[in-house]
Structure 1
Amino acid sequence: YYTNSDGNTVRSPHKEVSGCAASGASARCRDGTCSFSQHRSGTCSRHGGVAEWM
């Protein structure tokens, strides 16, 4: 988990066995991890960028 710019606690990007859409992620990163970011800016920045928005 991490604290975003709004002060909210958000799950850190990680691989999901069930897939990103099924897990409630906001995006799938290019390295296959699922992001739960609440803002588009910076999403998947350490994971190769966004491959797909959910």
Structure 2
Amino acid sequence: MINIAENVEHWHGAAQTTKMTHIAITNFEGDTNVIWLKPVSDQEYNAVNKQ
């Protein structure tokens, strides 16, 4: 389990040979719940995972 602090941009995903389950438990702030960012491309994902 991973706990991400509020207002921290982050991404999550799985590679072709790994699995991932994503369960998001969030709190509402007014009418705002979650702000989803743009999808990460395979190129971006692979560049980070090679470090």
> What TM-score, normalized to structure 2?
0.25
- Tell me which protein shows more helix as a share of its residues: 2
Rg larger in 1 or in 2? 2
> What TM-score, normalized to structure 1?
0.24
Tell me which of the two structures has the higher relative contact order, counting C-alpha pairs closer than 8 angstroms and 6 or more residues apart: 1
